[in-house]
Every structure is written in C-alpha cells, then in structure tokens.
Amino acid sequence: MIRAKFATIKQHIIERIESGVWGEQTKLPSENQLADEFGCSRMTARRAVTELCDIGVLERSQGIGTFVSGLTAQSSVLTIRNISDEIKSRGHGYSVLQLALTTQVADKEISIALDVEVGATVFYSELLHYEQDEPLQLECRYVNPKLVPNYLQQDFSQCTPHEYLSQVAPLTEAHHKIQAMLPSLDQVHQLELRTMEACLLISRRTWSRQGVVSFAKLIHPGSRFHLGGHLTF
C-alpha cells in the first residue's frame, strides 16, 4: 500500500511539471500536505520528494520549502537522437555489437532510477555502437519489464533500443546527468582505448505516460566525442 502511494505521489508531481501546471521555481505543497492529500504517512511523502530531488527534478531550500528546479539545476532537456541516425547524418558508417541482453536484479540505484522495488527483476542490454569501425558509445541500459514486456525478444543489431522504445512506449520526458569518469579495465578494452583516458558519462532516465521506461548509462571516449544539443523550453 505504501509503495502504491509513494509511486502515485511521484507520478502526480511529474505530471504537474510536465503539463506546465507547476513551472520552474514553483513551490510544492509541504510533505504534510502531500501526506494528507494522498492519505499516507509523512515518511512516504518525504521519500517521493527526496528521490525527485536526487535526480534534479526538485530542489530544497532549507527552511523555505521544495521547488521545481530551474534549468540551471535541472538536467537539460536535450533533443534525444537515435545514435545510428546521428552517425549516419555525418556521412559516416554505423555498426553495433550486442554484448548482453538479459535480466538483472535491481540494486538500490536501479530501483530508484526505474521506480521499482530493490530486488525486482529488470531487463538489461549492453551494446557497443561504432562510428567508422571505431567504438563511440558503450550503452548500458536497464528497462522496466512492466512497460516493455517484449524487450528481451528484440534483435538490437537491427534496431537500436532507443528506436524500439520510442515505438512501443513513446517518450514524454527525459532527465540527463553528465559527468566525467575514468573507465574500468573492461571498458577500456571494450572501447578500444589506447590509454586510461577520461570518458564522458551520460546517465539518462526516460519516461512515457505510464511511468519510467528506462535508465541508461552512455559512456563515450573523451577523445572521440563532444556534446552539444538544442534546448527546448
């Protein structure tokens, strides 16, 4: 019951922001008000708000309240392009190697990202995308089985996960976190790096109208990739 209320509160907040009812810097109802509105404990309301703060959708101001994040704090709403289309648009050759397509048990990070219970079974794919026969992106993607039940039956050598998910669960929202990282030894091998160079990690959560669809970690060699985008307001 608590789980259902928790998910309902998060979805309610996201839908209010998505629809424009709550714009940037709108102050949210207090946790006590949310608890009263949804008939749950304050702890349940607090968890929903805290996790939305953790991913940058909301921000807390000590002693004042919780607000919808502005663009400076919130992940940029970037135009999301299919990587195969992006590479081909440059006139370059695209190819992909499917490394894994299986199930995994959700740890705390994945449970929060996909809005599922810790220990729940989720779908997992790992692909290596090439530009001109050189690795450009290592894609590690976790998918919500309830929203995409046939994910493991797909052949991602023919259709990218982004392309497939856009067809079966049209995306309505995405949040990004961009950071520098050092790759693991396995990732150095997969990306065919000559040295332990810094990589760019894009962590991306995507939603459809039904809830969180996927959580992807996209790893790019710093020497082969730069990030740009178009902001949509």
User: Looking at the domain assignment, is residue 155 inside a domain?
Assistant: yes
Are residue 87 and residue 173 in the same domain, yes or no?
yes
Are residue 193 and residue 101 in the same domain, yes or no?
yes
Query: Whole-prediction pTM value?
Result: 0.66
Q: For residues 13 and 37, is the Cβ–Cβ distance under 8 A?
A: no
Are residue 89 and residue 25 in the same domain, yes or no?
no
Are residue 33 and residue 91 in the same domain, yes or no?
no
Are residue 64 and residue 87 in the same domain, yes or no?
no
Residue-level pLDDT, tens digit, the chain, 233 residues: 345 688 889 889 988 887 778 887 899 999 999 999 999 999 999 988 988 887 678 888 878 899 987 643 333 334 567 888 888 877 889 999 999 999 999 999 999 899 999 999 999 999 999 999 999 999 999 999 999 999 999 999 989 999 999 889 888 888 888 889 999 999 999 999 988 899 999 999 999 888 899 999 999 998 877 655 444 43
How far does Cα 63 stand from its chain's mean position?
30
Q: Rounded distance, CA 225 to CA 179, Å? A: 13
User: Looking at the domain assignment, is residue 178 inside a domain?
Assistant: yes
Contacts of 149 (CB under 8 A, 6+ apart): none
Domain count, the chain: 2
Q: For residues 53 and 10, is the Cβ–Cβ distance under 8 A?
A: no
Domain boundary among 11, 42, 68: 68
Residue range of the domain that includes 111 = 83-221
Are residue 130 and residue 186 in the same domain, yes or no?
yes
